Structure formats: C-alpha cells, structure tokens
Chains A and B, each alone.
Chain A
C-alpha cells in the first residue's frame, strides 16, 4: 500500500490546505456580508429625493465624466409612440421631451413650452414654445415639429394612446401650437407630460421612420451615441440642450445587468454608479454601506390584492369585504417594506392629486367585523381558493403569505400559486384567476390614469381584469374626465374612491417608494415618481 510513499511531492503540500482555506474564507464572506457595512451618516429626508448614505470620497463633485447605470432589461426601441415598458420608456425620455412635464413631486410644469393656456370651455389648449430650442443635431424646433409629433401619436395610437378626442392640431406660427378637442377632457394636459408625447422633428428630419428611430434626434439632455438592442446604450451630452450648461455629465451609459444581485455587487464595488432595480430588503444595506446610498421618492404605484368578481367566491361582496377587514395593511406594510412604502387608504397614491387618502374610510383591520361580514356571505364558514402571484419577487411572495395567514384567520383557505411572469400575464388576461397580487400604476400625475384603467367595465382591461361593474362608479369616472380642476372634481373622485373602498373589487395595500441604489459620490440625481431618473444636474465626485 505504502510502496509509493517515496513519490510524495514535497512541493505541492501547501496547495490543498490553501484551496480549502480559500473555500472557507469565501463561505465566511458570504455569511458575514452585512456585518462589514459601516455605520453611515444618515441624511435621508423623507419624501425628498436625496442621496443618503456614507460619504467616503469627500472631494468636490466635478462636471464631466460618465455615469454608468445598471438596468435589468435592454433598450429595444426608441419609438416613443409604440412603447410603454420601463426599459424603453426611461431611455426614450432622455432623448425626447414633451411640451409639459412633471417635477419630482408630480406637479405639471412647462417644459419645452414657455407657457400653456386652457380655454374656459376646456376645448382649446395653446402651447407657446420656448425661444431658441434646438434638436441635438442643431436644427431649430418649431411648432410644426410639435404638431407632427402629436399627429403621428394620434395616427399610431400605441400603448399610451391619447385618450382625449382631438379635433385639430395646428401650428399657428413657429412658436405656437393649438390643440382643439371635440369635448372637454381634463386629464389631457397631464397626459401631454407622458414621454410618449415627446417632440420629434417633422417628417423624421427627412429620414425614414426606421432610420430615424435607429439614430433618434430629440431635444433631450442626451443623444444616442451607440446602442445595442440586446445590450448597452451609450448616451452623449446634447451640446444644444436648452438648459444652459447642462447636462454636466459627458456620457451616460445604460449597462445591461440582468441579475439583481450582480448589479448590487457591481454597485458596492464601484463598477457602476447607480442601479435601477433594487429589492426592498437590500435598501438598508446600501444606505448604511461604505460608499453607497439610496435615493427615494414617492411613486405613482399602488400595490393591490385584486379579485376576479366573476369568481364563484369573490363575486360575493361580503367575502371581499371580510378579507379587507381581515388584513392588517399597516402591519403588512411595515413587515415588508422596511419603511420604503406607505400603507394605502385609497386606490390613488398620495403623490396623485385628488387621492383623498385622508378623507376615504377604508375597511380597517378588525377580525370580529371580518368574521361578521363573512357570516353574511354565501360562505359563512369559509371556503378554499387560490391566490395567483408572479414568481421572482421576494416581497410579493412574502406578501402572499401574510395575506394567506390573514385569510386563514377568518376561515378562508388560500392556496398560493406562483407562476413565472409571462404565464402570470397570460393567466390574468384570460381572467383565469380567483385573486392575484399585482400593482396598478399611473402614467402621469392624474387621478384618471389609474381610475380609468381600474374601473371602466367597457375598457379593454375590464376594471383591471376584475370585471368589476358599478354604474355609479362608471358615471363618476366620466364626470371626472370632463369636470374642470377644482373642488367639484375633488368631490367626484372622493365619492368614487369611497364606493371602491366599500365594494372592494381590489384591496389597495400600500404605495411603494421609488427606490434606486447609487454611489455616494453622485450628486444631483433626481428620482421621478414614475421611476425614471433625471440626470441633467448630476455631478460625480472624483
């Protein structure tokens, strides 16, 4: 057995223990990842979009440089009229800009327009363009370009269709665009702030549509330098940008990093300056981390538990009300969101005008009431059903479990069914669910945006696939669309939201914050309530 003893290599002896030590070390570092995070100087300021974290490089921020932003999905198209998903929307809005936009608090502000005016009858909108506007190729922007852009959007329709009945779009002179509507439609102005109403050059600047959107030219702070539809986008500073001296950055790179933990680690190692996709459970680690921070802002998103009102059990309004009474929204929000969300009282997030969060009386957590409510239903002793969720989202999986436990406490047995995103969509588009967790999102700071999508039984989404129909709600929905801004409109939405809170076609659970990870060397980054970032004012400490 030991006859080959003599062959023992003396020289390699260290190698194996070394390999093992390495394995153990790696193991330790995995487990103790959080423990090395140093305590940060916390400068978080509530709803304000500011960087909070630990400043390591305390040098002065400088102009120029490149900001690398890790994003989970590639930019596949710049055709603003045909796109809606965040991967494209948040690239399109760097290149094209609308006449009016919204600030970080969701207020509508003039953007490419110097001013705008709505006639007393709500039918005529007049936009006056700012002086000296230029596209990134140096050509002047005129009202003709604005008219062309709007007309193409009307022609294309697309996923963010203009809902107003537009009668005429006229370029009155080089600076003035007049849009007339067939009937008043109050949400029109706010819809004009969508990225899909950005201004493109008339006739695509003489190119074909296809050519133009391959190398898009707009008025935005950045222009596309190179673009791989399956990979990264490199933007360069628009030298003709109308905001004097901005953007400060020379380049902005959208780097495709599909895996979230890979993106997180790249941020920690300083290989990227910001990450778009940040799970709630990792926010604290970045905030307290060495050289990293988070920026937050209120969002236009409402996380909800949706019911299929055609379902055997959930068609019974007492069942839905019982479940609403059984769920402790405050507790659920605290348990899941680490302070990066607000428990919901109404369908509309507090960042949206007319949200009525302080007026609406939702069905608050009360187990006795919940049991009484269920006793009035067709299923007084409970029943079993399923809760559909999309896989791959830890927060939502935990949320499902909390709801499952809540339902259990009043005798409703919910089986959680977790399917992959594409299957999930297929299922609820076909009304093939009993209850599901999903979120509703406004495209612009406008009450109608969420409400129309979630209450219109004649809309294609059939009240967000709940099939919820209530004639009073439908009537109020249409009144809200034509009523002029003011107290009257406020009353309409308050009434409407209260009916929703009582009928419970869905339970609004919480309003999650917009949450992005950044290096603490980054200054001036603004998170918008739609989840996009403004890079115009960004400077990076060297």
Chain B
C-alpha cells in the first residue's frame, strides 16, 4: 500500500487548513450571533405590547405613559433605539439596564447563571448515565423483551412534553412522597444539588430517547463487526469486550449527537426552570417577555446565542479532532 500524504489529500479533497478552518468557524459564529441579536431586537419591538403600559397598569394616564416612555427611550425611532443598543453593546459589553427593576442586565444574568449551569450539567450527567445503561442493556438483549421495553420507552417519553414530565415528578416525589422539594432552590451546594435533582431528571428525560436509540444502533453495529468476533475467539472476557472495545467505538457518534442536542437541552432547561420555580436564566426570560423588558430579553438572547454557537463550535472542533484523516498531523 502506498503511503498517502494526509495533508495533501485533505487539501485536494477541499478541506481547509486547520488555522483557516478555525478562522472560518469563528467568523461564522460571529455572524450568527450578530444576526440573532439584531433579529431579536426588531422582533420584540414588532410584537405588540408596551413596557410602559405593563409597568403602569391599566389605570395609567396617557401623560404618565408618555413620560415613562421618554425616560426609557422608547419614544425614539426604531433606528435610533437600535443605534443606542449597538453603542451600549460595544462600549459597555452589556445590553443596558432592566426597564422594570433598573438592575444592569449583566448583573441579572450573572446572578442567575450558576443555578442554570448546574442544572444543565446535572441533566447532562444524568442523560448520559441513563442512556448508557439503557443502551447497553438493549444492545446486549437484542430482540428480547428487555430490548423491546427499552425501545418502547423512548417512544413514550418522546411524546411527553417536558413540562408535563416535570409536573408528574413534582406530584409524585414532591407533593406525595416528600422525597424532593417541589420547587425553588435551597441554599448551599448540597441544597442546590438536592433541589435540582428532579428538574435535572426532567431535562434528561427529553434527551435520553434519542441518545439511547443512537447508542444502541451503534453498539449493535460494532457488536456485529469482525473485530469483536476475533476478540471473542481470543477468549477476552465479555465485560472487557463490551466496555473497553464496543462501547468506546460506539460512543463517539452518540457523543457528537449529544453535542448537537445540547442546544435543545438548554432550551428545555428554560422551560423546566419555570415549571420548578427555579430562579435561573429561563425564568428570567419568561418574566422579561411578559413584562416586555427589552434589554433583559436582548441580553439573554445574546447570551444563549453565544452559548449555543460556542457549543456548536466545540462540537465541530471535537469532530475535526476525532476525524481519523487528521490524525497524521497530530
């Protein structure tokens, strides 16, 4: 076999060099973020609803509404408001102060980030752990009752909306059994972990079905491949084959899928926070939307756009890293 120069092959196949690749990816990310921010800016202003009227209530006079709109800068033209927004964004790295509470958006988001991040992390751990167990069981019991049960399970859970799963968990483990708090977040790390268990399970529930399906299919592929047969023939213990060889080979595509799904998971977290009364980014977004608190909505949109794009970028980089065709360079 003649040795192929990978770098040349990649270039000939139209693959960019690594630095160029990163530069393109970063540029693409930046454009996406800018587009999202701009779109959100105009969308929330096109949607009917006036923050001043939400603050002053139904009994406010036209003069008081006009005065508040002026203080908030809402009487400026859309274009002027946009220029002001862009200026604040670049000079202060912030989307301004909340219209309702007057607190800076950066502070608001920073205060609520830890609990949301912890929830996402916990949900990821649970999703991966559950998926692993279920997928291994299904793959190793292919076409038996257990396999069928596990395959039916995703079909059921995929059809259940996240908030509904959350409500069921609250009723059973919170209200009925008192094992976990119904909602809110307790003080301290252990308190946080304790209160976030049910919400994390809820979020994980939405991820498990796709992960199990993918991992099971990949494992079956690997299980039927020649090298496993060879390993078995070499009387390698089944546990070693399963966990060291099969799972490792089958896990990669699933991990990639998980990375892609992570942005959905963030979206799911936002809803779950509302259901469980957790004061994280999601519930902040909900309040801000109903009170038309423009700077906060924009801040969160920007924040989520950055997070999702960063994850996408990370997934791309990992994929590229794991691509065997790049191995030579490393």
Contact = CB atoms under 8 A, between A and B. Distances in A.
Interface of A: 1-4, 6-9, 12-13, 15-17, 19-20, 23, 25-27, 29-30, 33, 36, 73-74, 76, 84-85, 157-161, 229-231, 255-259, 261-263, 265-266, 268-269, 271, 419-423, 425-427, 429, 438, 443, 453, 460-461
B287 A74 contact: yes
Given A262-B275, A263-B277, A266-B277, A15 B137 contact: yes
Contact of A461 (B59, B150, B229): B59
Nearest to A84: B57
SS of B interface (majority): helix
B103 A229 contact: yes
Interface string B117-141: 0000000000000000110110011
Contacts of A13: 137, 146
22 contacts: A4-B142, A4-B223, A6-B238, A8-B140, A16-B146, A17-B149, A20-B153, A23-B153, A23-B156, A26-B171, A29-B172, A30-B168, A76-B101, A157-B64, A229-B103, A257-B277, A261-B167, A262-B170, A265-B182, A266-B277, A420-B49, A460-B63
B102 to A, nearest CB: 7
Given A16-B134, A20-B149, 14 more contacts: A3-B229, A4-B140, A16-B150, A26-B169, A30-B167, A76-B55, A159-B57, A255-B184, A257-B184, A258-B287, A262-B275, A265-B170, A269-B174, A425-B53
A441 to B, nearest CB: 8
A263 B174 CA distance: 12
Is the interface on chain B under 10, 10 to 19, 20 to 34, or 35 or more residues? 35 or more
B2 interface: no
Contact of B290 (A4, A9, A261, A422): A422
Contacts of B274: 258-259, 262
A341 to B, nearest CB: 20
Contacts of B133: 12, 15
B302 to A, nearest CB: 18
A445 to B, nearest CB: 17
A159 B184 contact: no
Contact of B49 (A230, A258, A426): A426
B277 A262 contact: yes
B41 interface: no
A275 B294 CA distance: 29
Interface stretch (B82-90, B278-286, B306-314): B278-286
B183 A16 contact: no
9 A-B pairs closest in CB distance: A422-B49, A229-B101, A26-B168, A423-B48, A426-B48, A262-B277, A269-B182, A29-B172, A257-B277
B70 interface: no
A101 B181 CA distance: 39
A429 B275 CA distance: 32
B279 A231 contact: yes
Contacts of A461: 59
A229 B137 contact: no
Contacts of A271: 181-184
Contact of A422 (B103, B157, B283, B292): B292
A265 B101 contact: no
A266 B198 CA distance: 14
A495 B238 CA distance: 93
Contacts of A19: 134, 153
B182 A266 contact: yes
Nearest to B223: A4
A478 B56 CA distance: 26
A463 to B, nearest CB: 14
B142 A1 contact: yes
B12 interface: no
B177 to A, nearest CB: 9
Contact of A266 (B62, B157, B184): B184
Nearest to A429: B53
Given A4-B140, A230-B108, A230-B284, A26 B172 contact: yes
B176 A29 contact: yes
B137 A262 contact: no
Contacts of B287: 73-74, 230, 258
B328 interface: no
B251 interface: no
Contacts of A73: 287
Contacts of B103: 229-230
B276 interface: yes
A36 B54 CA distance: 40
B78 to A, nearest CB: 16
A363 B274 CA distance: 44
A73 B142 CA distance: 52
B59 A229 contact: no
Contacts of A74: 101, 287
B80 interface: no
Nearest to A440: B58
A13 B182 CA distance: 31
B257 interface: no
Given A4-B223, A231-B279, A266-B184, A76 B100 contact: yes
Nearest to B165: A26
Contacts of B279: 230-231, 256
Given A4-B142, A269-B174, A12 B101 contact: no
Contacts of A453: 59
Contacts of A229: 98, 100-103
Given A15-B137, A26-B168, A263-B277, A425 B58 contact: yes
A9 B242 CA distance: 10
Tell which of A230, A420, A422 has the most Cβ of chain B within 10 Å.
Answer: A230
Nearest to A12: B137
A29 B178 CA distance: 13
Tell which of B49, B54, B133, B134 has the most Cβ of chain A within 10 Å.
Answer: B49
B241 interface: yes
Contact of B54 (A4, A27, A425): A425
Contacts of A262: 170, 182-183, 274-277
Contacts of B183: 257, 259, 262, 265-266, 271
Contacts of B56: 84-85, 159
B154 to A, nearest CB: 11
Given A16-B149, A27-B168, A230 B241 contact: no
B50 interface: yes
B66 to A, nearest CB: 11
A77 to B, nearest CB: 8
Interface string B240-267: 0110000000000000000000000000
B53 A426 contact: yes
B250 to A, nearest CB: 13
Nearest to B99: A76
Contacts of B181: 269, 271
A443 B241 CA distance: 75
A406 B277 CA distance: 39
A7 B140 contact: yes
Interface in B93-124: 98, 100-103, 108
Nearest to B180: A269
